[in-house]
A and B are shown apart, each in its own frame.
Chain A
């Protein structure tokens, strides 16, 4: 552990959060945001507000060079105005890209107060709304990190292989926009981020430090959003998977929508293209969000957390941890309807 980043402490508010949902997470990992709200409200007894009027931060459009920065600042200002309207001061965006965008916007306003005034004017002219700058901007993973020990005391399971008694080997991957743009805004900064590593260690697991730990997950916005560039996207994911393979990780955990998606879905594509999987038994390496990881250990129903939606199925991981689940409920909807089972991939085992 590098003593310099160990000494660094990020300010994370204790309570009263305004939550902003991600554009894509509810589609790709539908249980994660709900699990986060449940953990905060039911496990930690915190006040967190989830406004139904929220909207995009423009992040994907901004990083794809479609949305100009002036627009991004005004759209972010409208989100801040919702927070202000409800009397909150601590802003918590679910998405790492949003966290990066908000950090950039706030930093820009700090360096160029005239742009803040211009944004206030733009927002007022367009919507008649006003806003205050958040006192504390943190990512939800920061909050789970802050209360990781308290949560550990409430957990039903630990990150331990119930067959061998050994700690599970966990690859943690941080979204680039969490700490690589503004290193001092991330717990542990950019080189050895500690936000997920801290959770893993506190909950009984062992962090895998592999050579391509800091490498891009493969999303990289333009690598994927521009169809012709998708070869770059998958080759980056492949580089990471190859680098972590010798360590035989039990699963991967991330704090970014894009990272979870690409590290998960590209495993299927690589298996189809090259008949290659990155675990010994051909099931692939499960990729979880940190909310899913916390929810599982707290004893939440894996199917309510949405694990069946992932490409790489986590059933073997649940068995390893010793989590009780009903396999018959795996494809049962909220209404009780059993949905059709998805088709099995050719190579990747399910």
Chain B
């Protein structure tokens, strides 16, 4: 029986495990954290249909309760090597696991906003990240730095994405629509709160995204300002003073808000960077390079080593589900009639 090791139990990894198990493949699913789907659990609702992410978490974790999938949590795979008897995976406790193929789905981490010093994250309590905002929405408790109800909130797009200064030239793909989603969630709870989103350009590329953007403006009266924030500083009463430029009006702008929400982009997780380097499949910015973005997006330059999900590039949950299935199919197509991984 073919054994496939999947490193990373996020959306793509679990979806791939589920499809492989349904086709009789034995799966060992490794997760370095104590529980699976860490990134997804941090979300409250998912765009574009505002579905509770907990529902998706429940559906995905249920897929692991089948024969053929062994989920090993709190175990970090730190090295992968190929020998004549197959793939050897080593964890951080010196265990060795053998598999016929490996799927790397080690995912992403959010950009550390403290690297953008001028925005004051980690210094001023009123400056938070989109992850912090998601947690507040999930807890249904929106508060400012002094634990009071915010009257004014600003969101800043592209923090750590499309930013030459921090070395991330790429777009993180999900932040534009996430800010619109979070802004709507704020207005649902606090209709009197004045919400402004600062953007470079809004990339409403997905189905239903443009409609959300329109609803945000027409129904929820959310303001959109095209401009970057150059500086954030705390005021005497614990609010946040922003300096920006409205590039459509061509005027400088100063605003004081209760909260500044930094829409942090995606970067490859430490696991992604580490395995990418160790296996020589590292691409731009530390993400893992697939063989071909059009036709072979789940294989890598190393035969028997596959990749799925945000280990490759920023993706939505929807993308990850599809990519996990696609990776499973790529692996299944390589298994011959004897149940072994045949030559490519």
Q: Which A positions have Cβ atoms within 8 angstroms of B? A: 1-5, 189-192, 209-214, 246-247
By size class, the interface of chain B is: 10 to 19
Q: How far is the CA of A265 from the CA of B89 in the complex (A)?
A: 70
Residues of B near A192 (CB, < 8 A) are 117, 123
Interchain residue pairs A-B with the least CB separation, the first 7? A191-B117, A246-B236, A211-B241, A211-B233, A191-B118, A211-B235, A2-B117
In the complex, what distance in Å separates the CA atom of A83 from the CA atom of B262?
Answer: 48
Report whether A189 and B233 are in contact in the complex, using a CB–CB cutoff of 8 Å: no
| A209 and B117 within 8 A (CB) | no
Report chain A residues within 8 Å CB of B123: 1-2, 192
- A209-B234, A213-B233, A214-B231 given; A3·B114 CB < 8 A: yes
Picked from A4, A212, A246, the residue with its CB within 8 Å of the CB of B115 is: A4
- Is chain B's interface secondary structure helix, strand, loop, or mixed overall? mixed
Residues on the B chain within 8 Å of A4, using CB: 114-115, 117
The answer to whether A210 and B114 touch (CB under 8 A), given A1-B123, A192-B123, is: no
Q: Is the interface of A mostly helix, strand, loop or mixed?
A: loop
19 contacts between A and B (CB under 8 A): A2-B114, A2-B117, A2-B122, A2-B123, A3-B114, A3-B122, A4-B114, A4-B117, A5-B117, A190-B117, A192-B117, A209-B234, A210-B233, A211-B233, A211-B234, A211-B235, A214-B231, A214-B233, A247-B236
Which chain A residue lies CB-closest to B119? A191
Bound-state Cα–Cα, A225 to B233, Å: 30
For A4, A5, A211, A247, the residue with the greatest tally of chain B CB atoms inside 10 Å of its CB is A211
Assembly CA distance A214 to B232 (angstroms):
10
Pair A189/B231 contact, Cβ less than 8 Å: no
Query: B233 to chain A: which residues have CB within 8 Å?
Result: 209-214
Q: How far is the CA of A61 from the CA of B114 in the complex (A)?
A: 38
Contacts A1-B123, A214-B233 given; 5 further ones with Cβ under 8 A? A4-B114, A191-B118, A211-B233, A211-B241, A214-B231
For chain B residues 209-236, which have a beta carbon within 8 Å of chain A?
231, 233-236
Q: How far is it, in angstroms, between the C-alpha of A158 and the C-alpha of B122 when the chains are bound? A: 29
Given contacts A2-B122, A214-B231, contact A189 B236 (CB under 8 A): no
A213 to chain B, nearest CB (A): 6
Chain B residues lying within 8 Å of A1, measured Cβ to Cβ, are 123
For the complex, what is the distance from the CA of A210 to the CA of B233, rounded to whole Å? 7
Q: How far is the CA of A2 from the CA of B115 in the complex (A)?
A: 9
Inter-chain CA distance A246–B123, complex, in Å, is 20
Which residue from chain A places its CB closest to the CB of B116 in the assembled complex?
A: A191
**How many Å from the CB of A189 to the closest CB on chain B?**
7
B232 to A, closest residue via Cβ: A211
The minimal Cβ–Cβ distance linking A215 to chain B, given in whole angstroms, is 9
State how many angstroms separate the Cβ of A47 from the closest Cβ of chain B. 36
Q: How far is the CA of A1 from the CA of B241 in the complex (A)?
A: 18
Inter-chain CA distance A237–B233, complex, in Å, is 18
Q: Mark B93-119, 1 if CB is under 8 A from A, else 0.
A: 000000000000000000000110110
Cα separation A184 to B117 with both chains bound (whole Å): 13
Q: How far is the CA of A5 from the CA of B118 in the complex (A)?
A: 12
Interchain CA distance A212-B123 in the complex, whole Å: 15
Give the shortest distance, in Å, between A21 (CB) and chain B (any CB).
33
Residues of chain B contacted by A212 (CB below 8 angstroms):
233
Instruction: Give the docked Cα–Cα distance between A211 and B242 (Å).
Output: 9
Contact of A189 (CB < 8 Å), options: B114, B117, B122: B117
Q: Considering only CB atoms, which chain B residue lies closest to A245 in the complex?
A: B236
- Which residues does chain B contribute within 8 Å of A213, judged by CB atoms? 233
Beta-carbon contacts under 8 Å, B243-262 to A: none
Give every chain A residue within 8 A of B118 (Cβ-Cβ): 191
* Chain B: minimal CB distance from A151 (Å): 27
Q: Please give me the residue from chain B that is nearest to A1 by CB atom.
A: B123
* Residues in A whose Cβ lies below 8 Å from that of B122: 2-3
- B241: chain A residues at CB < 8 Å are 211
User: What mask results when residues 308 to 334 of chain B are scored 1 for a CB within 8 Å of chain A, else 0?
Assistant: 000000000000000000000000000
Question: What residues on A are CB-neighbors of B234 within 8 Å?
Answer: 209, 211
